[in-house]
Structure 1
Amino acid sequence: MGQLSFFSAQIAQPAYEDLEGLLATHGQAVRSDSGTRVSVVVAEEWRAVALVEEISATGVDAEIVFSDEGSPIARTAPSHEFDELHRRWLAGAVKAMPAGWVPSPRALRLWTIAAGERDEDRYLLGLDAHAPEMHAALATALMRVGVAPTLVGTRGKAPALRVAGKRRLTHLLEYVGDPPTVPGAAEHWPVVVGF
């Protein structure tokens, strides 16, 4: 990659709010007496490894566990530091994007690690199929950072925001930075090709 953008995740300081990127996709925040735990089930183990590294950079303990079906889960330790994040991303008992949310570079990086996938010369950012009311709002949130996506797959089990075009893909790549250094990440990371 060439020159880093001033908005790149690689120069932004890690913060608890970065974990909002996991909630933008299919991640969950669950509150208990010991605090809020943020977790996300991912499709490949490299994603969990990279997420634990990113989460740990915020100063919070994180670990990988496996679901009963064998899927990797990246999750934080319970912490009251995440209670406000939990409150902001709920509307009643349903997960909902906070009004006016603008993803930070590192939040978008976590979203990309958790649920990003190449689609030929386009890029897909996975959405939570169980929170369809958030989809249009998340598309608007990406527009606020200069990445205008198209909502796709809303009738299936894999809804996503599709980013297409050289300018938009370049901006997304500048925003999220280089791929994680874990094996398997680079082949799933946004690229600008064929333009």
Structure 2
Amino acid sequence: MSLSGLGETGEAQPAPALFPAPESGAPAPARRRAGSAPPGPARGAEADRQLVFFGADAAEPTVADLAGLLAGPGEVVRMGGTARLSVRVDAAWRVHVLVAEFASRGLAASWEPTDGERHTVRTSYTRVLKPLAAAWLHGPVKRPPAAFHLTGRRLRLWLTAAGTPEPPDGFLLRFGADDREHWESIGVALAAAGLAGTLINPAEGGPTYRITGRRRLSRLAELVGEPPPAAPVDAWPTRP
């Protein structure tokens, strides 16, 4: 059930259709006539939205951003001089968004359904991911490299794979089941990004970090940027 490197599905195996497929592209900005004055500042809420330093909109996508998936439930494995990244998700919209995110970084991706209406999304084996694997793997154990930090694009990928709102003013960022080795390090990175959270252990419904409070949720929304077209309206943090 392969998807092309451009994030488009093959005719034989469409992407999971549990929701409308995302619309492609965005409206082109209006052109300004030669010699005319530049448009004035936008009015309303959009005018108040500033580009956040380290936010998802502040830089072009890079392979290094995929560390955000490894901070969450993503896995990376090596084979010879190559590596492959995979992540298991619980909703079809996440498949659409992740395939597009991989494609924007020049990585081909495939997906397959697993048990319980879940899906596994994975890249092909490629040399491009070898440095990421080298930084995160200590033998078979996944562990964040020293001085790991979370940028907006890394958080956006983590949220896409395993972020869940917890009304009225909470948000959960989940780990993989075997990520105990790096719970503390990722908690430090979240706090450094202004998103100090509470670690929820597996016995209490985790492993996950719970981020609560309107101020922190606003910060999370600023960092991860606008929701992707495929994401349900209530699945993404919003700015007040």
Fold agreement, TM-score > 0.5: yes
Q: What count of residue pairs does the alignment treat as equivalent?
A: 192
| CA contact 1:51–1:113 (8 Å) conserved in 2 | yes
Name the counterpart of 1:167.
Answer: 215
SS at 2:203 equivalent:
coil
Q: Which of the residues 12, 17, 28 maps onto 2:59?
A: 12
How far did 1:86 drift? 0.7
1:151 matched to 2:199: yes
| CA contact 1:37–1:79 (8 Å) conserved in 2 | yes
Q: Which of the residues 171, 187, 207 maps onto 1:139?
A: 187
Name the counterpart of 1:56.
Answer: 103
SS at 1:82 equivalent:
helix
| CA contact 2:90–2:117 (8 Å) conserved in 1 | no
Q: Which of the residues 82, 88, 101 maps onto 1:41?
A: 88
How far did 1:47 drift? 0.5
| Residues 119/52 of structure 1: CA separation in 2 closer, same or farther (3 Å cut) | same
Q: 2:222 corresponds to which letter in structure 1?
A: E
TM-score (norm 1): 0.90
Percent identical pairs in the alignment equals 37
With 139-148 and 108-117 compared, the bigger mean Cα shift is at 139-148
How far did 1:190 drift? 1.5
CA distance in structure 1 between the partners assigned to 2:90 and 2:208 by the alignment? 15
Q: 1:146 corresponds to which letter in structure 2?
A: G
How far did 1:68 drift? 5.9
TM-score (norm 2): 0.74
Q: What are the Cα deviations for residues 134-179 of structure 1, in whole angstroms up to 9, with x where unaligned?
A: 1111110111212111111342453111111122111111110011
RMSD: 1.9
| Residues 188/136 of structure 1: CA separation in 2 closer, same or farther (3 Å cut) | same
How far did 1:119 drift? 0.6
Q: 1:18 corresponds to which letter in structure 2?
A: D
How far did 1:29 drift? 0.5
How far did 1:122 drift? 0.5
Name the counterpart of 1:125.
Answer: 173
